[in-house]
Structure 1
């Protein structure tokens, strides 16, 4: 039997703005993917961020699909590039989702990294 891999729907959004000594927080949601193994990582100016990152385990949706969420706390810097990189069996190479500059509080990109 051949299993069909299903690409995740990925959304990056801001859940908290930086204020004073409190960092801003972004969340990267990957939803409705199959099979379960997946890796999410954050990149800041093309360098992997491992500090101040919290991720959930893969969670079953109850309909054969899975979801996972990763949070990044950070202090914004002008002109920086922040991305959520998703590695999953549904793609031969990592899928990169960029947090948009000068955008509303949500940024959603399709699998070709084009804004929807």
Structure 2
């Protein structure tokens, strides 16, 4: 082999080894940054491993960090919000260009594939809690979520996060409602989306539980035990009578 041919072979080998290393490397973490805009709204969000780390609130004019208080607090460097504002200007310029290019392209609408309502903590009567309405599998973003208590609309204590992208290209959003459970109260979250002809509604009813009413559990078990005992006595009497008839 000539020196030139030898060098070419070595380059090919190094390229092959580099590809092997790239393919075999394990992914430890996945981070994501999203910039979106419309004529009247905008979104800049940062996430890590499927969790929302921060987003720009253009109404409050600040960067919001929605992590719960029990995790280590994480913040980005100074100027993060200002950069988000600048990115919005670029996004809106690109939006106008895209509209001209894709003027006749129809927008696909995908209705939410899943809506769930549940409490953050175990329910105890009179103790503050949070209702969560989890909406996923929709496109495009966002959805609108409204809450009711006993068929009356509720806005105080409600919030909704910015849309989070799923791996299949759809989105997930979570709405929360602060509430104090009282027996018999009925809550609902109604989800509206471009692909829906009518809202998707999920119901949550505050019901009695063994923890919220200590007398319920023992009463139920005593009732079941008494019933089984009576059944046992009846069955024994039946077989005793039959035995006497045969003899």
Runs of 5+ consecutive residues of structure 1 not aligned to the other structure: 105-116
- Runs of 4 or more above 3 Å deviation: 1-4, 17-22, 100-104
Larger strand proportion, structure 1 or 2? 1
Q: Distance in 2 between matches of 1:101 and 1:21?
A: 11
Structure showing greater Rg:
2
Tell me the matched-pair count. 104
Runs of 5+ consecutive residues of structure 2 not aligned to the other structure: 1-104, 210-247
In structure 1, the partner of 2:148 is 43
Q: Is residue 34 of structure 1 aligned with residue 139 of structure 2?
A: yes
Q: Report the CA distance between 1:71 and its aligned residue.
A: 1.1
Q: Distance in 2 between matches of 1:94 and 1:71?
A: 18
> Aligned in 2, Cα 1:45/1:12: closer, same or farther, shift over 3 Å?
same
Quote the RMSD (CA, aligned, Å): 2.4
In structure 2, the partner of 1:65 is 170
In structure 2, the partner of 1:6 is 110
Stretch moving more, 92-101 or 19-28: 19-28
Deviations 1:25-74 (A, max 9, x none): 11100011111131011111111211111210111124310010011111
In structure 2, the partner of 1:87 is 192
TM-score by length of 2: 0.38
Q: Report the CA distance between 1:82 and its aligned residue.
A: 0.4
